[in-house]
Amino acid sequence: MKPIEFKEQNKILGKPDSMTDEECGSLPVFSDRNQCISCWELTDEEIEKIKETKCVWIGVMSGHTQPPIFLAVDTPFIERKNNGKWKIYVIEVECEKYWVIAQDEDQAVNCLMEFDEVKDLEFSSIVEATEDEIKNTQIQYVDDMKMPTLIEYYMNYDGDSAQVICSTLWAE
């Protein structure tokens, strides 16, 4: 078995310093601060062995305890509700970036201009967020739901209007 990359991954865990490359390699994972999910590809021989024995052995190098784990043959990720209708835009206004989910740039700007604190300020730029930005941006709370990553919000957004998701301070 070997770990493989998958579209929902948002980080790569490195091997512990105490282990060699032969003992352990990097592990692509999806992490939402509550769980890490990895995807493993089986060889044809391993598939035949599982068919024969109907068993899979799990080992966790953690010492004295076994943390809760799960195994699945179906993806643990819910299907995207967004269906590409919504995009994430990053709008820079003075020294702050605002992340807005909208169908187009005009809708994103109009949505942000509804906020009193920015409606009279000059917008520096507006760009569609890259896939890496969407995967790696951490946000705290959205609509009273804990949504640790922008990708979760983006993939599952099924609203009917544009929304300002969060803002992040930045400095040059």
pLDDT digits (tens, 9 = 90+) for 33-92: 778 889 999 999 999 999 999 999 988 887 778 788 888 887 777 555 555 677 888 888
**pLDDT class for 152, splitting at 50, 70, 90?**
low
Backbone angles phi, psi at 88, to 5 degrees: -100, 125
Could you give the count of Cα atoms lying within 13 Å of 126 in the half-sphere of its Cβ? 18
Residue 138's nearest CA partner among 157, 127, 151, 124 is 151
**pLDDT class for 147, splitting at 50, 70, 90?**
very low
Tokens of residue 133, six digits: 């930005």
Report the distance separating Cα 121 and Cα 92, nearest Å.
Answer: 10
This prediction's pTM: 0.47
User: Please, what is the average pLDDT of the chain?
Assistant: 78
